Structure 1
Amino acid sequence: MYVFLALNASIKGWNFHLPFIIVDGTFLKSTHCGTLPVAATQDAGGKVFPLAFAAVDSENDMSWEWFFVKFKKAYGVREGMIIVSNRHESILKATNNVYNEVPHVFCIFQLLGNIQTKFKKKLKRIKDEFLSAVNAYTLKKFNYHMSELEKIDKRVQQYLQEVGYEKWAKVFSASNRYSNMTSNVAKSLTTVIISIRELPICTMLESLRALLQK
C-alpha cells in the first residue's frame, strides 16, 4: 500500500541543516492516483533541502502515522526540532502519536485562509492585525494586536485562542521557528516535481532519486 523514500545523503545532511521539518501532501496523477507526502527543511542560507517522500493511498490517519513512523526511524529526534504543517486532522493525530515530544506548529497562511473563509468581514484589517500578532517579538506587542483584533471581531480572537497561540505566534513558540512561519518550503518542492507526479510509482521514485542526486 505504501512506499517511503529517504536517501542516505538527506539523512546524513539533516544534522547540518535547520532543525525543523515542513510536511505537506500533494496528489499523484498516475493511473492509481494516491497522495505524495513530502518532508523538507532549509539550510542556513534559506535553500530547500528535501528529506523524504512517500506514496500512499490518501491523506488519512493510517497513512500519515505510517509516514511519521518511517521518518522517525530514518531521522530520529534533534534538539530544538519543530514540525510545521497545515492543520490537516490526520497530520495532527500522527504527530501527536509519533512525535509527541516535538512541538508541532501551523502554517500561518493556511490559518489565515481559514480565518478569511470563516469570518468574511473586514478581511484586510483582520489580515494586518493577525500577521502583526504572528510576528510580534514581545508579549506587549502581541497583546496589543490581539486587542485590536478583538475590536474588529471578537470571534476571530476567540478562534485563534482555541487554535492555541503556541501554534502560530512567534512569541509563544516553544522552539525557534527561524522566521519560517509557512509551509512554503514543502510547497515549493511539490511544485518542482509537478510533472513527476504523473509517472507510475517505480518510475516516479527513480525520477525523484535522480532529481535529488542532480
Structure 2
Amino acid sequence: MQDSTYFSIRVYRNIHTCSRVVASTIQNKRKGTPQVVADVLRGVYPGEVDTPAPKALIKVVQNEAHVNVSYSTALRGKKLAISELVNPGTVTSVKLDARNKFKYLFVVLGTSIEGFRAMRKVIVVDATFLKSVYGGMLVFAIGQDPNHHHYPIAMGVIDKEKDASWSWFFETLKTVIPDDEELVFMSDRHKSIVKAVQEVYPLSQHGFCVWHLSQNVRGKARVGSEYLDNSVHLEKWARCYFKGDKYNLDTSNACEYMNSVFKKARKYALLPLIDAYIEKVSEWFNKHRKGSAIASDTKKLVPYVENQLHNLCAIANGLFVTELNHFELEYSVLDIDKIPCVHAIAADMALMRNPNRRREIHLHELCLKYYRIDTWALAYYRTIYLVPHQSTWIIPEEIEKLVILPPDYTKKSGRKRDKRYPSTGEARRKQSNRANPGIHIGRWFEPLNTDEDQEENQGDNQGGNPSEV
C-alpha cells in the first residue's frame, strides 16, 4: 500500500528462484563421508585392523559423530582406515637374479630406524637356516635398548652365507644406518662377515663373539693360548684392548635368541615369515613402551642400571675416601659399560654427605645418556602396525606387473631335523632388568645423621679394603 509499511499478495506463482541450501538444517539427516568413518575408527579402535563389520559401524558412527552413513560408505571408510595403518619410513629391498628368480630380501621398519638413534651403537649380526622347501638363510641385525632388552633392527633372507650375500645385506643396511666411528658390529668369525664389514663399514669396529671363540679353543688346552695369539687379533675379543665401545655385548647371544623365537616361523613361506616378524616386534614394542611409561618419576635411570648401581653403592659405602687437593689426578669415572665405577661412587657419596660442599654431583649425571629413562622411552614411542589383509593392499601398477619366480631347490631325502644338540656352556646367566620399588639410590648419598649411624655402618663394613679416591 502506498505510503505505508503494509503490502498485499495478489498473485502467487509456485516457482522457486532462490538458491538451494547446501547443508541440511535437520541434524538427524546429516550424511557422513568415508573420511568421517575412518576418523571414528582411528579414535575408537586405534591401531587395530580387526574392526567391526560395516553394518555395525553404522551405529558406531551415529553414536560418535552423530551422522548417518550408508553401508557402502561404512565399507569404504573401513578400507580407508586400514590403508592408513602403515609404518612410515619402512625400507624394503628385493634382489632377483638374471632369470627373475628370488635371491635376497631386506626389511627394516621405520620405527626401528628411528628408535636405534636412542641406542648404544652396537649391532649384533648372524644368520640361521630356514626350514622351508626352498631353504636359504634368515639374517638378523639386533641392537640392545638401554634396559638390556633385545631390539630388532633389520631382518633379511639370503641364499647362503657368502661374500656376495653378506655384502649386499650390509650395503642395504648402510642406506638406513650410515657408517660411523661410534658403530660396533658383533658376530662370529665367518670370513664373509669380516670382509663385508671391512668393505662396507670401514669406520666401524668389529668384535668377535667370545662364546664361539671358547668353542674353538675347547679341546686345545695345551695350545689354547697359542691358538688365540696366532689366529685371532687380541683387540677383536679382549674388552680391555677393543678400540670401540661394545659395553656389555661380547657375544652374539641376541641373534641366537631371535633364532629361538622364530624357530616355528622359519618353516613358513616368505610372506607369513614377514608377518610373524612384524607381529613379534610389535608385541615387544608395546610391552616395553608400557614399561618405560610406568617407570617411577623419582628415578632417572632405567631399572637394569638402577639395580646394578644399587649393588655397587653397597660396596662403595664400605670404602674409605680421602680428599686429595695437593695434586691433580686424572681418572676416568666410567667403567667399560659407561656407568660409574665403585671408586667414583664412593667419592660421590663423600661429596654429597659433606655439608660444606661447593657443588652437587648426582649419580645419574655420571652415567651415559643412553641409560636414562627418557632416552629409553624414545626408543619405543612409535607404534608398529600389523600388515592388513592382502585384499586391502594398494599396490602400484608397475609393481603389480612384476613377475618373481621362486628359487631353484633340490629335494632332499630323509626327515628334517627340527632341533640341534645344545653345547655345554650355552646357558648364560641373566641379570634382573625389572624395576625394584624397594631400591632408591638417593639414600646412599644422604648425610649421616647421628654418631650411632656411623658406628653401625662401620660395624657392618668391617673387613672392607680401604681405598683412596
What is the TM-score of this pair, normalised by structure 2?
A: 0.38
d(CA) in 2 for partners of 1:78, 1:62: 23
> Deviation per CA, 1:25-75, whole angstroms, max 9, x where unpaired?
011011101000101010111100001100111111111111111111111
- Aligned partner of 1:193 in structure 2 is 262
d(CA) in 1 for partners of 2:216, 2:132: 30
- Aligned partner of 1:147 in structure 2 is none
d(CA) in 2 for partners of 1:207, 1:78: 31
Is 1:161 aligned to residue 263 of structure 2? no
Report deviation, 1:159.
2.0
Report deviation, 1:206.
1.9
Structure 1: tracts of 5 or more residues without a match: 122-152
Residues 127, 139 of structure 2: 8 Å contact kept: yes
d(CA) in 2 for partners of 1:73, 1:161: 36
Report deviation, 1:79.
4.5
d(CA) in 1 for partners of 2:125, 2:262: 15
d(CA) in 2 for partners of 1:209, 1:180: 25
d(CA) in 2 for partners of 1:47, 1:71: 21
- The percentage of aligned residue pairs carrying the same residue is 32
Residues 19, 79 of structure 1: 8 Å contact kept: no
Amino acid at match of 1:32: Y
- Aligned partner of 2:282 in structure 1 is 213
Is 1:177 aligned to residue 279 of structure 2? no
**Structure of higher RCO (CA pairs closer than 8 Å, 6+ residues apart):** 1
Q: How many residues align?
A: 180
Map 1:109-120 onto structure 2 (within 5 A).
Answer: 109-117=211-219, 119=220
- Aligned partner of 1:60 in structure 2 is 162
Amino acid at match of 2:143: T
Report deviation, 1:93.
1.1
d(CA) in 1 for partners of 2:214, 2:173: 28
Amino acid at match of 1:174: K
d(CA) in 1 for partners of 2:260, 2:277: 13
Amino acid at match of 1:58: K
Which of these residues, 115, 136, 153, is aligned with residue 51 of structure 1? Answer: 153
d(CA) in 2 for partners of 1:172, 1:26: 30
Residues 83, 102 of structure 1: 8 Å contact kept: yes
- Match of 1:74, SS? coil
Tell me which stretches of 4 or more aligned residues in structure 1 moved more than 6 Å: none
Report deviation, 1:186.
1.3
Report deviation, 1:195.
0.9
Residues 265, 273 of structure 2: 8 Å contact kept: yes
- Aligned partner of 2:113 in structure 1 is 11
Amino acid at match of 1:108: V
d(CA) in 2 for partners of 1:41, 1:160: 27
Map 1:58-207 onto structure 2 (within 5 A).
Answer: 58-117=160-219, 119=220, 121=221, 153=222, 155-162=223-230, 163-207=232-276
What is the TM-score of this pair, normalised by structure 1?
A: 0.81
Report deviation, 1:104.
0.5
Q: Greater share of helix residues, 1 or 2?
A: 1
Is 1:26 aligned to residue 128 of structure 2? yes
> Deviation per CA, 1:81-140, whole angstroms, max 9, x where unpaired?
1100000111111111111211111000001101115x1x4xxxxxxxxxxxxxxxxxxx
Residues 109, 182 of structure 1: 8 Å contact kept: yes
Amino acid at match of 2:151: F
Residues 19, 78 of structure 1: 8 Å contact kept: no
Amino acid at match of 1:65: S
Report deviation, 1:202.
1.6
d(CA) in 1 for partners of 2:274, 2:176: 17
Report deviation, 1:18.
1.3
Amino acid at match of 2:185: I
Structure 2: tracts of 5 or more residues without a match: 1-102, 284-469
User: Which structure is larger by alpha-carbon Rg, 1 or 2?
Assistant: 2
Amino acid at match of 1:159: Y
d(CA) in 2 for partners of 1:7, 1:24: 18
Task: Give the superposed CA RMSD.
Answer: 1.2
- Match of 2:217, SS? helix
